Amino acid sequence: MKKDLHPEYYPKAKVTCACGNAFTVGSTMKEIKVELCSACHPFYTGKQKLVDSARRVEKFKEKMEKKAAISATKKEKKPRAKKTK
């Protein structure tokens, strides 16, 4: 096998969650930062919590409102009569 082909493996890589939970796993990265872990994920805790760090839900709602407004204005316009030669 070729030398220096594979990345370095860290058997005790530290994983840190946004909730403050920290644990170790094996990885090719020395430190890993995550938003959700088993201690705060709704599936494991049974609590429903909306995590929207990048305003994705609000941006989607704004986009849908704009599309609805545009389609409403198109429906209000009367279709033009076709020109005949």
Tell me if the domain spanning 10-76 has CATH number 4.10.80.400.
yes
**pTM (2 d.p.):** 0.49
Ranges of the chain whose pLDDT falls below 70: 1, 49-53, 76-81, 85
Alpha-carbon distance values, 83 to 65, 78, 80 (Å): 35, 15, 9
Compute the distance between CA of residue 28 and CA of residue 24 in angstroms, rounded to an integer: 12
Tell me what pLDDT residue 38 has: 85
Six token digits for residue 6: 């594979």
Q: What angle do CA 51, 59, 49 make, to 5 degrees?
A: 15
Q: Is the dihedral angle over the CA atoms 52, 55, 60, 61 positive or is it negative?
A: positive
CA 22 from centre of chain:
22
